Structures are given as structure tokens and as C-alpha cells.
Structure 1
């Protein structure tokens, strides 16, 4: 144990838990949970709110060995929950395997990402949690639970916000490795994006649009194209949807001049080194930022984006950059993409908490007609009365928490405030 716990990655939130445990074995995890009145799992601290905090103890699984086990016949990999995606991706690539998707940051932990439905990108691809085919977690009173897709209510256990227990191991679907090229276009006209949103966002395996919400153009269009070795070489045009190709390497809009992005310029490379925006061996940024993200039905993309554009003059002064991404619909009860193909509108704000807090209620009100779901781990103003109606399976999830956490050991202020769950 090493008190105090300290801040999150961006140093915008200070954890209030009294103790941080770093167990080295599953038995230690079970003992800690069994002895605790209040306890939560702490990942890589990439949340921008109190989701992972506890009024009692926190458990970090960083000291558990990754113990990566690839089952080639089943096409799965099983890994310790605290392992970072970049480490897992490196091992899979070495063995000729791949995941279907990656987040922009390979530095996040497997359990932290899946438990919050953190998503990656791609109009035809589900979020990272959709690859989960099995879970092992320590539930209330230190009991060990193993579940897989044959388990009733498994779809409610994957994206669980830490409310069911401390996830210790995860099994993920894998596929044979593949190569990807990354190309960047600049000055994408807004009128083109709004008129043909699905075509633009579906024009590559993974597509991102970066904007500051001002002017007639979005600043950057990033295309990550999967390479088919049996097909002719990919030839991308000099102009696409009114945007212009650039051969220059464009650094991340929030990278502050650091060369930390994955290779661009159409140079093919492994999926593990192209699907993320940032290289695993580089620091993505100094973390001096606040992040928010809202998910709307992709069918309403043009209308939702137009509403946000109308707030552009208020957004821009406190914004570093916005990224637009798409995620395929899934069946995971608390996933932001549950039941609908989604557009994710991501805001990386300047580290100006008061200004961000003042704007968020108005931004969320503007997006409310579209049923916008906030990313669980990022900054937002909504509370349970607004959030609960967005998740039709929430009553079933609440019942699951009573099964696996009868003493409410994993309850915290966040779960009470956002979902109305008992503490």
C-alpha cells in the first residue's frame, strides 16, 4: 500500500481513496476485496472524473504478470486485465495475430477500456469491448467469478464500470494479422461532410475527422486503410471529398510539436502500429487537458454536428481539438453504442475546468434531442435523471450489481450520481 493515491493521468482529478493496493497474485486480490468495506479497481488513470475512485480502497493490477495465452484454434487471447493494449498488441503481432480495433491511445489497460466501452474507430467495427468472449473477476466478498458468452447476462458484465467487481483476466477474439496504411487529407469542406457523412466515414477501415468548429472546413481527415495482400496496391487520389492529400507528417493536434504519432504518408505497417494515433513507445501528450465525448445515432450525424457547429464560437476558445469517429452498434448493455451505429464527438479541452464546466450543460442540452450518451470516463454534467433513460437495460444491470455485490463494496459517488445505484 502506498498512500496517497495521487492524481489521474491529466492531473485534473485527485483520487480521494485512503489506500492503494498493488497485489501480485489473484489470491491477494481476493483477500483485499474480502477485507474491504469499500473498494474499486484503478486502471491507467486515463479517466477524467471520479469513476474509478472509492471512499475506501483502490486496487491496481499493474504488478500482476500479463500471462498472455493465445489459443490459435479458438482464435482468442487471454490476458491479465491490467495489461496495456500496446503490450498485448506487440505480442499478438509477433505471433501473427491481431485485434479488430484499437483505441487512439495504446497506453490504456485492457480492463479499463472494456469496462467503459472505450471504442477505437470504424464504421463497421464494434468498440474494444465487443471482442470480449470471456471474463474473470473478483466479485463482492472476494468470490471468484468466471463468465463467457454462454453465461446468462454476459452482455451486462463486460461494460460494467467496475460495479460488479475487480476484473482480473480477459479473453478477447483475435484474427490473423494485417497491415494498414495511414493517409492524411486537409481542409475537408463541412458541406461535403454533412452531405455525405457515411461515405466519408466509411471510406477506410478507420476514419477520423479533426475540427475546431470554426470556418467552412474541418482541418484534417485521417484514413487508416486495411491492406489486402491479394489486391493491387492502394492508390489514393490527390483530392478526396474536397479535401487535399498531404505528404507532410502532421502531428497530433494536441501533440504540442512532439513526434509521437503513428506513421503516416501511406506507408504500410502492422495494424498494431497504425490503428492507434499514438506510438506506444512515445508519450501521447503532457496530459494537460480535459476530455469529453458524446455518442449519437449515426443516422442523426448531420443534424447533431450542425447543432454543435452553431456553438463553435463558444467552443473554440477553450478547445484544443475535436475528433469525430464512428463505432458500430453492439449489444452490451452499458455501451455508448448499444443498439445503434454511433458517431462519437470527442472534445479535448484546454485545462480550464471552470470554463469547461460552464459550457458542458449547454453543449449537452444541444445534443439532448439526439439522445447523446456521454463517455463514462470523461467530463460531463448529466446525472442519473438524464442518463438512465438512455440505457434500457439499466434496471437489469442494477439487478446484476445486487447479485455480484450484495454489500455494495464497489459502490461509489459516481455510480450513485450517474446511474442511481446505491452506495
Structure 2
């Protein structure tokens, strides 16, 4: 049976998937295998996780969730999902600063590709990492901590340096959130005010009609909110789809991990993989102009589009992070599952956004590659001189 990603649009070429049950077994396997890469939850929509040789899944490694309450950190196994981790953190009085739309994704895969949530003060999920351990090309176990020279290049590294086995994440005190949906967001609504009026705010749009998902620590005051109206009931981000899989709305307070994601951990999203995805991040100072340019081509985008999501992400210092060095606006496209219809739409979006220096989300579909920092190339050469962890994706990025 052919192994595919979550969406089914990418078939992995590797003839075998190994499931080591211990760190020692993983180290021996890596040292003895000419080409090998790690595969997480398979939620990427391109071949970033594929290997021309062997694939490794760490799902049979010993479970690891070590909470250090004094330091407000947790050390987790790489294959741990946010859905499994978050309730345990909450039970101990801690939280992650943010989560992505889906809690079903693995921590290591999300970190490696620069995955993010939303919120003007919230960084990417990768920015929560304070330390990591990885098995490098000769089977050695390497530990890196924030402050080490290589650390900013090793967190969002696309699997190019080795197989990450554990990550240490910074924590915050547990908190509650309320989630509201407002409909009819005007195109001329003040962007910074709208996106800043909550702990996490997302706009869902088909470039004609727009809704806001607002996640707040406090109640949203009654009355007018930027000329919008309150949703009359629970909503799914894609209009017309049932909201059963979505986290609770209507302002009902609940734990952070049951409000920050759009989708519930105990239920897959309604589309269940019947989609393709693209996302680009730009400097937030260009948000209003970039969104205006996208609306101008909305009629040409819509035939291939299910929905777009607009979010904000605070800057971080990780070299390959799409929000490296700049507060960003992220524009996400959930497409229909028809690559022939979607590719022209992606290229149109790339043309429109080109003046704003867009950076792609590494786990989504794109056709234009950003420049790779020379210092990341040097880091890869040192950690993997023979290309044991290389694949087509990393070779294009590195210009090989």
C-alpha cells in the first residue's frame, strides 16, 4: 500500500518506513542508512518530508512528557502531538503560548516547518523551543540550547540537519479563552485594530465576504464591533460546512487548548484532507496593501478556493522561519483538491504578492523559492556533509 501525506496529494517514494523503539536503535539505523529522513504526522502538502532512501517514524519511541514546573518548560518526544500534550500541560497548570489551527499535528514536524497560530503578540510555535536533541549523520546525539551559535538555524531546519528526538518548550501559566465569530467584516475595517482585539484573531475570507474568529481572555463587549454582526450560531471556517468538528464558540469560556485551535482534538476537520493548502507571510506593515491587491484578483482565485485565512505572527530569530526578523501577516489559502486548477491560482497569488517579499510556509504548496541564508547552507554542510538527510526539497532550497 502506497504511503501518502494527510491530504493524499503526495506519495512518499521511500520503500520502507522504520519504527525504532529506542534511541539506541534510531542511532544505529541512521548511521547505517545512506539516505534517511523523519516523517511526522504527514500534514505537509509537499515533499518536504520525503526521502530518496528510508523514512523513520518515532511513534514507537518511549513516551516523553517531562514538565519542569520551576523552569516553566516541558521536554517532549518529537512525535508527540499537540492534542496529546496540551491537556497534560493544562492539568499541571501550564499552557503553550499558542497553537495552530489543528492540534493533531506533531510537535517536531510543526516546529521544523515554522508552523504558527495567530496573534499580534504571539510568535510561531517554533519560537517556544528552548532546546532540542537530534541524531546527526554519524549517529551521534547532539544537544542544542538557546544561546548556542547553531540554535537559530537548527529549530526550523526542515529535517536537513538530522532527526530530532526531543524538544524543550517554554510554557506560560494556564489560562481560559472565549471564542467569538463575527460576520460581515468590512474591507476597510482598521486592520491593526481588528487583529489586535483579542489574544488570537483570524479572518476567514473568500475575498468577497469575511468573518472574524476572535479568541479573547475577556468577554467581547456587546454592541458594534467594526461594523460586523454576531454569528447566529457555531460556524465552520469554510462556509456551508458543518461546525461539529470546530472548537466551541459563542463566547463560552474554556481552557486555552480547547479554544486556540479552530478544530477539536477529538474530531478531524470536516474536510478530512480533501484540500490543498498554500500560505505566504509578509511584513505586517504591508498587510493592508497586500490584502487589497488580493481582493482585486478575488474573482480569479475563487474557482480554486475553499477559503483563505489571514493571521498575524510576531517576529522571531530563527533563520528559516517565515516570520524571521519581522512581524508578519500570514495569508493562507485552502484550495480545492485539484492541482491543475490550483497551480495557476498559486502562481497568480505569487505574482500579486511578489512586491511584498512573501515567504512561503514550508509545509504548503508554492512554486517560487526564497533565498536560502548562506549560514544555513554552512550549517547543513557541517552536520550532514554527505547529504544523508537531503531530499529533492532541501536540494532546491540549498541550490544544489
TM-score interval (norm. to shorter): over 0.9
**Structure 2 unaligned spans of 5+:** none
Report how many residues are paired. Answer: 399
Give the aligned partner of residue 409 of structure 1.
388
1:353-411 deviations in whole A, cap 9, x for unaligned?
A: 0111122222101111100001101011113xxx11xx5xx100111111111111011
Deviation per CA, 1:286-344: give whole Å up to 9, x if none: 21100000001100001111111111111111100000000001110000000110000
Once the 2 structures are TM-superposed, how far is the Cα of residue 5 of structure 1 from its aligned partner?
A: 5.3
Report if aligned partners of 1:5, 1:18 keep a CA contact under 8 Å in 2. Answer: no
- 2:249 aligned with 1:270: no
Name the residue aligned to 1:329.
Answer: 315
Of 67, 75, 79, the residue aligned with 2:64 is: 67
Deviation at 1:238, TM superposition (A): 3.0
**Structure 2 matches for 1:10-409, cutoff 5 A?**
10-192=7-189, 196-214=190-208, 217-218=209-210, 220-227=211-218, 234-253=219-238, 256-257=241-242, 259-284=244-269, 285-383=271-369, 387-388=370-371, 394-409=373-388
Cα distance in 2 between the residues matched to 1:221 and 1:367: 22
Post-superposition CA distance 1:9-45 (Å, at most 9, x none)? 0111111112111111111111111111111110100
Contact preservation (8 Å) 2:204, 2:237: no
Secondary structure of 2:188's aligned partner: helix
Deviations 1:85-119 (A, max 9, x none): 11100110111110000001000000000001101
Structure 1 gaps, min length 5: 228-233
Between the aligned partners of 1:93 and 1:256, the Cα distance in structure 2 is: 30
CA–CA distance in 2 between the matches of 1:321 and 1:235? Answer: 25
Q: Deviations over 1:247-271 (max 9, x none)?
A: 4111231783250000100010000
2-side partners of 1:5 and 1:146: how far apart? 35
Q: Is the 8 A contact 1:164 1:405 kept in 2?
A: yes
Paired residues of 1:186 and 1:221 also in contact (CA < 8 A): yes
SS in structure 2 at match of 1:90: helix
RMSD (Å), alpha carbons: 1.3
Give the alignment's TM-score, normalised by structure 2: 0.97
- Whole-Å separation in 2 of the counterparts to 1:133 and 1:254: 39
Measure, in 2, the Cα distance between the counterparts of 1:172 and 1:102. Answer: 13
CA drift at 1:143? 1.1
1: CA distance, partners of 2:355 / 2:237: 32
Query: Could you tell me the TM-score, scaled by structure 1's length?
Result: 0.92
How many Å separate the matches in 1 of 2:223 and 2:388? Answer: 57
Q: Please say if residues 235 and 243 of structure 2, whose CA atoms lie closer than 8 Å, have aligned partners that are also in contact.
A: no
State the alpha-carbon separation in 2 of the partners of residues 14 and 320 from structure 1.
23
Counterpart contact for 1:187–1:243, Cα < 8 Å = yes
- Please name the residue that 2:4 is paired with: 7
Of 279-288 and 98-107, the range deviating more from structure 2: 279-288
User: Do the aligned partners of 1:184 and 1:221 also contact (CA within 8 Å) in 2?
Assistant: yes
Q: Aligned in 2, Cα 1:62/1:326: closer, same or farther, shift over 3 Å?
A: same
User: Is the CA contact 1:5–1:17 (under 8 Å) kept in the aligned structure 2?
Assistant: no
Residues 238 and 245 of structure 1 are in contact (CA less than 8 Å); yes or no, is this contact kept in structure 2?
no
SS at match of 2:347: helix
